[in-house]
Structure 1
Amino acid sequence: MSLLFEEIDSQDSPLGEISLRKRRIPTFGDRDIYEVKLGEEFLMSSMFVDAEEALSDLGLAQVKGENLSVVVGGLGLGYTAVAALKDPRIKELLVVDALETVISWHQKELVPLGKVLNEDSRNRYVLGSFFDLATAPETGFDPTSNGKKFDAILLDIDHSPTEFLNPSNAGFYTTDNLTLMAEQLKPNGVFAMWSQNPPEDNFIALLGTVFNQVDAHLVSFFNPFQGKDSTNSVYVCVKN
């Protein structure tokens, strides 16, 4: 196998075959680039992590207080979770992912940030559907503490609020279901969400039916494949 490409793991999942790959692109020197694919679709790459980190930075910047309890929806390659753990106010971080394979990549340290997450006692992996847990506030995100409330919920699963990793996720983006999720936030708690697309006015209006403060941030980062900047979005909402 070429040293420029390696498939580290490939497993069946409820969403289809998911694979972890590592490659090097000679133009970028001795830099390992990790990629996750679902079927033939690229889900994430370590080439582009600025917006994933900004999801934590922008979301947590709006949270007041100390000893924070935070949920990250979607583990991915771990960049949002690790960025959150850089905030010294974090007391505990629950990282929710529906795919056991993705969690195992981190537990086995097949991805670079697995070691960072495993060595931080504040971090805990939760195997489950974020969307199912988000809309069941009587039990909630923490399997050890029913009905627990959090200071922030950071979501990075779907490509955007209108482009879904799984078609069944579409039902989450309603006033009723966002309200159920917001019940799991403490007063002045924050919900933040990543999107690959520019801010969408219809989604901002929807968030405004649940949260009293809604901001949309455009995050720019250099795309070496295009030789210019690309953008993602981060929505940040504050509960009453």
Structure 2
Amino acid sequence: MPSLFEELDSQDSLLGEISLRKRKIPAFGDREIYEVKLGEEFLMSSMFVEAEEALSTLGLEQVKDKNLSVVVGGLGLGYTAVAALKDERISELLVVDALDTVISWHQKELVPLGKILNADKRNRYILGSFFDLARNPSAGFDPDHPGKKFDAILLDIDHSPTEYLNPANAGFYTTENLSKMSEQLKPNGVFAMWSQNPPEANFEALLGTVFETVESHLVSFYNPFQGKNSTNSVYVCTK
């Protein structure tokens, strides 16, 4: 009988042991499910990707220009990046991740979407801390073009604006540091961010100190483990 579970990789990282797993759940048929764990904590699953994809579609639909330069903060399993590349207006996509292990999963095509990202010449992986780069507009996200400005920045790293993958990330969520990030957007540029929780009024108010418009979207998707719909949020802000 074929194995229903396989650990594809496990490596130490700055945040602890991070692992990539593939499994099948008989109740869901032959579907292969990819999961990422940090220590004993589940970070992401290919079963629940609707909100990650919506981060791209909701964010990019607010950008009115063509020949777009876009930053994605957080590679994960690649769903936000691949959804962004479906927008034919994109001329370049920089995907920033602090963990070389995660980037290598895509480069080695251990995850299904790695093949799509590697084949698209518009895509480029950037190894580095999104939060450090966001706070340094004179250098910016593109090591080849310091100070470059972008049409959109799409962020999916922390669990929410108040629940952090790394406690050090908390300092990013201030008017000062969000403003430094916004300096890297073109006029009328868009910042969008994923959250696992419903929209938080305090965070919306904080975003309003930096951006001209702030909208929050609830993204609903079916959760077969709970037998009902679940929701994530996407914040969309225009400079």
Deviation at 1:100, TM superposition (A): 0.1
Which amino acid in structure 2 is aligned with residue 119 of structure 1? A
Tell me the equivalent position of 1:154.
154
Tell me the equivalent position of 1:143.
143
The count of aligned residue pairs is: 239
Which amino acid in structure 2 is aligned with residue 190 of structure 1? V
- Whole-Å Cα distance in 2 between the matches of residues 238 and 93 of structure 1? 19
Matched, 1:75 2:75: yes
Deviation at 1:182, TM superposition (A): 0.1
| Alignment of structure 1 residues 77-226 onto 2, 5 Å | 77-226=77-226
Deviation at 1:141, TM superposition (A): 0.1
Q: Secondary structure at the residue paired with 2:104?
A: helix
Tell me the equivalent position of 1:4.
4
Q: Secondary structure at the residue paired with 2:112?
A: coil
Which amino acid in structure 2 is aligned with residue 33 of structure 1? I
Deviation at 1:3, TM superposition (A): 1.1
Q: CA deviation digits over 1:17-53, x for unaligned, max 9?
A: 0000001000000000000000000000000000000
Which amino acid in structure 1 is aligned with residue 134 of structure 2? A
Q: CA deviation digits over 1:93-125, x for unaligned, max 9?
A: 000000000000000000000000000000000
Which amino acid in structure 1 is aligned with residue 43 of structure 2? L
Gaps of at least 5 residues in structure 1 are none
Q: Secondary structure at the residue paired with 1:152?
A: strand
- Whole-Å Cα distance in 1 between the matches of residues 113 and 106 of structure 2? 7
Q: CA deviation digits over 1:121-161, x for unaligned, max 9?
A: 00000000000000000000001000000000000000000
Q: Percent identity?
A: 83
Q: Secondary structure at the residue paired with 2:230?
A: strand
Give the TM-score taking structure 2 as reference length. Answer: 0.99
Deviation at 1:2, TM superposition (A): 6.1
Q: CA deviation digits over 1:41-66, x for unaligned, max 9?
A: 00000000000000000000000110
Q: Secondary structure at the residue paired with 1:162?
A: coil
Tell me the equivalent position of 1:232.
232
Matched, 1:60 2:60: yes
4+ residue segments displaced more than 2 Å: none
Tell me the equivalent position of 1:29.
29
- Whole-Å Cα distance in 1 between the matches of residues 225 and 40 of structure 2? 19
- Whole-Å Cα distance in 2 between the matches of residues 33 and 206 of structure 1? 37
Q: Secondary structure at the residue paired with 1:177?
A: helix
Q: Secondary structure at the residue paired with 2:16?
A: coil
